[in-house]
Amino acid sequence: MNQVNIGLLGVGTVGSGVVEILNNNAEIIKKRLGFDLNLKRVCSKSISDKAKKIVQNVLTDSYKDLFQDDIDIVIELVGGYDFAKNFILQAIENKKSVVTANKALLARHGFEIFSKAFENKVDVGYEAAVAGGIPIIKAIKESLSANNINSIKAIVNGTCNYILTEMFKKEVSFEDALKDAQQKGFAEADPTFDIEGMDSAHKMAILSSISFGDNVTEYDVFTEGIKEISLLDIKFANEFGYTIKLLGITRLVDDKIDVRVHPTMVKKSDILAKTDGEYNAIKIKCDMADDTVYIGKGAGSLPTASAVVADVMDIARNIKHNSPLRIPLMSFPFNYVRKREVVDINSLEMDYYLRFSVEDSAGVLSKISGILGENGISIKSVVQLNKGENWVPLIIVTHKAKEKSIQEALEKIHKLDVVKSKTLLIRIDDE
Ligand code: HSE
């Protein structure tokens, strides 16, 4: 066998990148592998003219053609849940190894898919599912495997990072920054998954699972998006020495998993705060290697396709050496994979940034600070903007407080008639 045959489902943004890499980089791929990767069959509802030119002789209308005997590895790049899941499970039953970029699917049904692959002795590669071109899955599963991973802090959504960076640098509103991101092709036409934090939650579920030997799903991740962040908050964060990022955090606390995605104030000196635009950054704290940081393009056709093709190459090597499942699919053998309890966010303690919208009149500050005090919350700084209007922003930064106390205090504060609307809360990372 001087080649390994591939079937590709879906030639959209990432799929056309895969076609381009397999075509343009065939020589370096062959040099590294010692054999060819052959794109044997391609199935796609729609396809760009550029990609069609390259694959027209191998196009098929039936996805089932990708399960024929002459295919060794199938790549799933259609995204979504039901069809993609059925396709992958059928491929596995047909003894095909699978490569996918489908983070949403893996964050919901990963365990089922990996178990099925294990039973059928085939591999599943998913490097492209987290942070596109950054080789983070391999780093965790292989390069850091001699370590206990203590925590991961990460920017894993380029759309949100681009929006927050643009708001700060160009002093524009969230809406304008989002429009700009869409025009430049960084944000989807429907950016809900990105801006509401779900895309980051999917990625953090996957990273948590392979870091701790757990079956963390999207449902375990506490998730808040960036829609409520205003330019005002970004400016204040800057004054206080922070940058606001949509941060994914995962760590083990007393053998429970603390996994969350929310806007976070990160110290300006932190490498994560300095990661701008559409870039992703992942900081892993380990017991032996200490901190390692990975930065790169987390989306886009070629960066993501580069991760897909690297997975295909790894699996092709396993096929050549008859060593499927050499690296455990979930980073740990299945008998070590557990389902730990998830930490309740209410039990956490940290500093908080609170932006109230209040009436500008006598006694308002004392009412609010009174309630905070009654709930054991100590104030670090207070700023009130005098905009000459009836309702003004009042910003309070707290010392370390319990999330539960903060939420209880906010509930009481919202009942005050001097408070106009829901308070914005941003958690502060002061590590
Ligand atoms: N939409 C994602 C992002 C890339 O903006 O980072 C795909 O997960």
pLDDT at position 407 is 98
Helix or strand run (H / E) with residue 368: helix 364-374
Pairing of strands 97-100, 73-76: parallel
The CATH label, of 1.25.40.80, 3.30.70.260, 3.40.630.30, 3.40.1010.10, for the domain at 345-429 is 3.30.70.260
292 Cα: distance to centroid of ligand 1 (angstroms): 22
Tokens, residue 402 = 């319990």
pLDDT at position 358 is 94
Model confidence at 234: pLDDT above 90: yes
Looking at 40, 96, 203, 245, which residue is catalytic?
203
**Spelled out in words, what is the top-level CATH class assigned to the domain 3-132+301-336?**
alpha beta
Model confidence at 377: pLDDT above 90: yes
Contact 322, 401 (CB under 8 A): no
What sections of 217-363 are H helices per DSSP? 231-240, 301-320
pLDDT at position 185 is 78
pLDDT at position 388 is 67
Mean pLDDT of 51-71: 96
Model confidence at 83: pLDDT above 90: yes
* Helix, strand, coil share (%) of the chain residues, nearest 5: 40, 25, 30
Reported as a single tens digit per residue, the pLDDT across 258-294 is 999 999 999 999 999 999 999 999 999 999 999 999 9
Model confidence at 190: pLDDT above 90: no
Mean pLDDT of 187-201: 91
Tell me whether domains 3-132+301-336 and 136-296 share a fold: no
pLDDT at position 225 is 98
158 Cα: distance to centroid of ligand 1 (angstroms): 6
Looking from the CA of residue 187, the nearest atom of ligand 1 is: 5
Model confidence at 431: pLDDT above 80: no
Task: Name the CATH topology of 136-296.
Answer: Dihydrodipicolinate Reductase; domain 2 (3.30.360)
Say how many CA atoms lie within 13 Å of 196 toward its Cβ.
6
pLDDT at position 1 is 60
pLDDT at position 186 is 76
> To test the ligand 1 pocket, which listed residue (159, 160, 164, 276) has its Cβ within 8 A of the most ligand atoms?
159
Q: Where are the domains of the chain?
A: 3-132+301-336, 136-296, 345-429
Reported as a single tens digit per residue, the pLDDT across 245-264 is 999 999 999 999 999 999 99
Task: Output the average pLDDT for the chain.
Answer: 96
Reported as a single tens digit per residue, the pLDDT across 26-44 is 999 999 999 999 999 999 9
pLDDT at position 430 is 83
pLDDT at position 2 is 87
Q: Is the CB of 130 under 6 A from ligand 1?
A: no
387 Cα: distance to centroid of ligand 1 (angstroms): 37
Reported as a single tens digit per residue, the pLDDT across 135-163 is 999 999 999 999 999 999 999 999 999 99
> To test the ligand 1 pocket, which listed residue (199, 276, 295, 308) has its Cβ within 8 A of the most ligand atoms?
199
143: Cβ–Cβ under 8 A, 6 or more apart, which residues? none
Q: Is the CB of 194 under 6 A from ligand 1?
A: yes
Reported as a single tens digit per residue, the pLDDT across 304-327 is 999 999 999 999 999 999 999 999
What sections of 148-250 are H helices per DSSP? 158-170, 174-183, 192-195, 198-212, 231-240
pTM for the structure as a whole: 0.97
Mean pLDDT of 21-26: 98
pLDDT at position 106 is 98
Instruction: Using pLDDT thresholds of 50, 70 and 90, give the confidence band for residue 187.
Output: confident
Instruction: Using pLDDT thresholds of 50, 70 and 90, give the confidence band for residue 427.
Output: very high
Active site residue 203: yes
pLDDT at position 78 is 96
Which protein residue has the closest C-alpha to ligand 1 atom 7? Answer: 299
